[in-house]
Structure 1
Amino acid sequence: MRTAIFAHRGSKANRPENTLAAFEEAARVQSDGIELDVHLTKDQEVVVMHDEKVNRTTNGTGQIKQFTLRDLQELDAGSWFSGNYRKEKVPTLKEVLELLSDYSGVINIELKTDRNVYPGIEERVVRIVDAYRANLPVVYSSFNHESLIRLKKTDASAEVALLLWERLAEPWRYTQQVGATAQHLWEPSAFSDTAKQLHQHNIKVRAWTVNKPKHMQLAFQMGLDALITDYPEVALDLRKSYETAGKKLH
């Protein structure tokens, strides 16, 4: 089975994460999937950023939920990475999906509901996806599995994935109980017997965050469904070499 390459927060290694520049680059290098994170602003707009606070990746301070969209988008979301990206703003989910309207790969939307409560975020995200990405592949993930259950109640056909650090006993049972079709596992957990157990029950395994070439190779060898990486272009090149070597052996 071919292991898909998901770009973590866009092309995070060479662009400011979770910005339009990062997503554009991830699409340009032809990543199989693009992972991003969503929160709600004070005025209930769905925006794309990893942290609950704006401090690390903008020139502002404070919680996203304390900002209106207008005030949030006045912040500089690129200069922390490089002066070349000082015009980058915190994008809305709508803006990202508009940018990626021709992108046929998987969009992995992580709901950042494990620390902050964002009432109604699941319904809002589903409405946006329905409007901007109908009939194109999307998978929702979260460390807050109750959030995924709420999302499934909004859209029973949605593909959801459990985000997990740890390994579970009989991991397929809980996954099926939640209604998920995949586990997104931290590297050490993904590179274990858990992957084999999940595959035996037709549950996908995607590993995060796989940045070392030797670990990328291991993901290919194990037949993981995907690896999520800050270096999609490196992973894509390695996969090509791995597949070429395999063909030569046969």
Structure 2
Amino acid sequence: MRIISVVLLAMIAHLSMAQSKVVAHRGAWKNTGAPQNSLESLKHAFEMKCGGSEFDINRTLDGKLVINHDADYAGLRIEEHTYADLNKTKLKNGEDLPLLESFLKLAKKYPNTLLFAEIKVAPSGAAASEKAAEETWKMVKKYKLLKHTVFISFSYEASLKLVALDKKARVQYLTGDKSPDVLKAAGIPGLDYHFSVFEKNPDWLKKAKSLGLSTNAWTVNKQEVMESLLKQGIDYLTTDEPEMAMGL
């Protein structure tokens, strides 16, 4: 009986890990030499057949949605400058500052990789974050990629805005200051927390799953942390080391 129990536990652990998907953080850049959040790095993630690719979205003064991690680009505050001004500085691989629209056109060719679209917190406040969230949702809808996109944000207001726009939208909140129960009550269907949040709150991952919330952890780059979360059956694992994670 003991041998059978051990075998069953091993099978359950294997199935839990098999269901998890690897999300390349800002595309696959660390081991490819591509700039983070470039079309090149995002394409690498597609070609590697990652479960998902994460990228960051900011809104320019003239309403362009651009892919860049920080609120500043080349020393300029993105929301205070036009795309033309910002794009005078190219990425190190010669690319233009990537437009969300350009990325979505590329993404349509790789339907098996989910898009994890992070709506960045706007320096000017919650209203600007909500506006960027709404415009991002509309553009994703335009390209018929809503079913292939998970919207993530540190802005609670932007997360609520997305849920209000579309009850079927796949949304994950990032900050880590809300329990699974609070997110469930607010109608936010997922959480994407730093792995340390799950370590400090060891019951949250199990609780989130019991409530039907999608679960994600960032940015998981150490093998032992990856293995721990995978064994717990996390849905998505966001990492700068997609090659390592996929190898597990």
Q: TM-score, normalised by structure 2?
A: 0.84
Aligned residue in 1 for 2:217: 207
Q: Which amino acid in 2 is paired with 1:235?
A: A
Query: Are the equivalent residues in 2 in contact too, given 1:10–1:18 (CA < 8 A)?
Result: yes
The residue identity in structure 1 corresponding to 2:57 is V
**In 2 relative to 1, CA 188–121 (structure 1 residues): closer, same or farther, beyond 3 Å?**
same
**Of 210, 220, 233, which aligns to 2:230?**
220
Of 24, 27, 31 in structure 2, the residue corresponding to residue 10 of structure 1 is: 27
- Select 2:208's aligned residue among 187, 191, 198: 198
- Give the corresponding residue for 1:99: 106
1:245 maps to: none
Moved more, 88-97 or 148-157: 148-157
Give CA deviations for 1:175-213 in whole Å, capped at 9, x if unaligned.
113211111011111342211111121112211000111
Over residues 131-150 of structure 1, what are the superposed CA-to-partner deviations in whole Å (9 max), with x where a residue is unaligned? 12336411111111111111
Separation in structure 2 between the aligned mates of residue 107 and residue 211 of structure 1, nearest angstrom: 20
Distance of 1:48 and 1:236 partners within structure 2: 25
C-alpha contact (below 8 Å) 1:114/1:143 kept by paired residues: no
- Per the TM alignment, residue 159 of structure 1 is displaced from its structure 2 partner at its CA by 1.3
Pick from 67, 82, 87 the counterpart of residue 68 of structure 1: 82
8 Å contact kept, 2:26–2:54? yes
State, as a whole percentage, how many aligned pairs show the same letter: 27
Read off the aligned partner of 2:50 and give its amino acid letter.
Answer: S
Q: Distance in 2 between matches of 1:233 and 1:150?
A: 34
Tell me the CA shift for residue 153 of structure 1. Answer: 2.1
Aligned to 1:81: none
8 Å Cα contact 2:152-2:172 kept in structure 1? yes
Residue 131 of structure 1 pairs with residue 139 of structure 2 = no
1:50 aligns with 2:69: yes
Runs of 4+ in 1 over 4 A off after TM superposition: none
* Partner Cα separation in structure 2 for residue 187 and residue 134 of structure 1: 28
Contact kept, 8 Å, 1:190 with 1:205, in 2: the verdict is no
- Equivalent-residue separation in structure 1 for 2:120 and 2:162 (angstroms): 13
1:179 paired with 2:196, answer no
> C-alpha displacement at 1:221, in angstroms?
1.1
The whole-number CA distance in structure 1 between the counterparts of 2:213 and 2:194 is 16
- Give structure 1 stretches of 5+ with no counterpart: 55-59, 79-84, 239-250
- How far residue 65 of structure 1 moved from its aligned partner, in angstroms, is 1.2
Equivalences, count: 223
Partner in structure 1 of residue 56 of structure 2: 37
Q: Is the 8 A contact 2:76 2:86 kept in 1?
A: no
Partners of 1:211 and 1:230 within 8 A in 2:
yes
Alpha carbons 1:160, 1:181 under 8 Å: kept: yes
Equivalents in 2 of 1:45, 1:32: separation in Å?
Answer: 27
Q: Secondary structure at the match of 1:183?
A: strand
CA 1:34–1:116 in 2, change beyond 3 Å: closer, same or farther? farther
**8 Å Cα contact 1:190-1:206 kept in structure 2:** no
Q: 1:114 Cα shift?
A: 5.5
Which segments of 5 or more consecutive residues in structure 2 lack a partner in the other structure? Answer: 1-15
- Contact 2:71-2:122 within 8 A present in 1 as well: no
> How far apart, in 1, do the equivalents of 2:87 and 2:238 lie?
27
2:76 is the counterpart of 1:28: no
